[in-house]
Amino acid sequence: MAQNELPMNLRDDNVSEETKTLISSLPREQDSQGKLCKFQGCWYYYNTLQAVINFQTNFKPQDTDIILASFPKSGTTWLKALSVAILERYKQPTDDHPIHPLLSDNPHGIVPFFEIDMYLKTSTPDLTKFSTSSPRLFSTHMPLHTVKEGLKDSPCKVVYLCRNVKDALISRWYFRCKYQKSEVARSNLESMFESFCSGVSFYGLFWDHALSYWRGSLENPKHVLFLKYEELKTEPCVQVKKLAEFLGCPFTKEEEESGLVIKILELCSIRNLSGLDVNKTGKTWMNVDYNSYFRKGEVGDWKNLLTPEMENKIDMIIEKLKGSDFKF
Ligand code: A3P
C-alpha cells in the first residue's frame, strides 16, 4: 500500500533527524504495512516511534492524570467509555456541554491516545485542546516501562485492560481487514498470526505487554490497576465498582441503591454505544470510522477463525510462560 494511503501512525514521513539516527541503531523489520523498529522492547512504525519519543520528552504530567492503557483491540473503547461515565457522573449539563459527552462523541474522541493522537503530528501539542476533562484522561498502547518515562515520577493512576490473547488477535485481524482489500488480507491471516506470535508486529509481543502492567500492578497497586475484559463481561458490577474505587470516586451506597452502576453499564454497553448516531457516522481525525471500534464484543470469537494448529501454537506459548506469576 502507498505511504499516503496509510494512516499517519503507520507511516515514516514525520521523523526528525535525531530519531532517524536512533532508528539506524535499532533492530528493524518490514511488514505489509510499513517499516517497524524495536524500541524499549516494543515494535513501532517510525512515525509512532517519533510520537513515543515526543511524549517521553515533553509530556508534563499532573498528579491527578489518569492513563488508560491496553494492547490494541482489547476493549480500549469500552474502558474509555466506562471511565468517562464514572467520572462524569458528578457533572450537571451546562450551556457549553448540554449533553453527556458519550452521547455526543466517541470514547476515542474524548480520551486521546498519547502516541496516536496527541504527539503524532507535533512534539508540543496544546493539551488543553485534547483533554478537557478534569481529572485529565489519556490513553496509550505503549508498555508500562515506556509510559513511565513520560510520567516521570508522577503518582498518576494507570488502568490496564487485558483481554484473552486469541480474541485480541482476531479482533485486530477484523479491524485490519476493514482497511485492506479484504480478500488479500484474509489470505494473509497466517502471516499476521506468525508475526503476532513472534512479536514482530505493531506494539510487539502481547505477553510482554500484559506482563509489564501485571508486574506494575503487583509492585504498586495504588498506581496500576489491572483489569480483564472477560471479568468485565462476567461480573460487570464488581469490576466497575473496582474501577471507580481505584479512580478515587467510589460509588456511595445511595448511588448503588439507585441503580447507577447498572445505568453506567447500560450507557457503555456495545449495543448502546454502537447504536448512537455519532458512532454510526463519525470518524477519528485519521479517518477511521468510529463504527469500526464496535464489532461483536464477545468472549471466544477466536474459535470461529483460528485453526487447531494456531490454537495449539498459542497454547504452547502460554504454557511456556507458566513460570511467570500471571495466568492468561
Ligand atoms: P471484537 O472485534 O472482538 O468484537 P479496542 O477498543 O481496544 O479497539 O477493542 C475493540 C474490541 O472491543 C472489539 O472486539 C469491539 O467489538 C469490543 N468493544 C468495543 N466496545 C465495547 C463495549 N462497549 N463492550 C464490550 N466490547 C466492546
pLDDT tens for residues 95-127?
Answer: 777 788 999 999 999 999 999 999 999 999 998
What's the pLDDT at 256? Answer: 96
Selection from 89, 133, 126 nearest residue 107 by Cα: 133
> Helix H segments across the chain?
17-24, 46-58, 76-88, 101-104, 107-110, 127-130, 144-151, 165-179, 182-186, 189-198, 206-219, 229-234, 236-246, 253-257, 260-267, 270-275, 277-281, 308-320
Average pLDDT of span 211-227: 96
For domain 3-321, the CATH superfamily is P-loop containing nucleotide triphosphate hydrolases (3.40.50.300)
Cβ 62 vs Cβ 111: under 8 Å = no
pLDDT higher than 70, residue 93 = no
Quote the ligand 1 centre to 175 CA distance (angstroms): 10
Q: Where are the domains of the chain?
A: 3-321
pLDDT, tens digit, for every residue of 137-193?
999 999 999 999 999 999 999 999 999 999 999 999 999 888 765 555 556 889 889
Q: Which of 294, 301, 304 to mutate to test the pocket of ligand 1 (most atoms within 8 A of CB)?
A: 294
Per-residue confidence band for 2, with pLDDT thresholds at 50, 70 and 90 = low
Residue 83: CA count within 13 A, CB half-sphere: 33
Cβ 41 vs Cβ 52: under 8 Å = no
Per-residue confidence band for 196, with pLDDT thresholds at 50, 70 and 90 = very high
Cβ 112 vs Cβ 118: under 8 Å = yes
Active site residues per annotation: 141
Q: Which residue has its alpha carbon closest to ligand 1 atom 14?
A: 297
Quote the ligand 1 centre to 317 CA distance (angstroms): 24
What's the pLDDT at 170? Answer: 95
Phi, psi dihedrals of residue 29, rounded to the nearest 5° = -145, 170
Claim: this prediction has a pTM higher than 0.75? yes
Quote the ligand 1 centre to 294 CA distance (angstroms): 5
Cβ 75 vs Cβ 163: under 8 Å = yes
Percent of the chain with pLDDT over 90: 77
Average pLDDT of span 213-234: 96
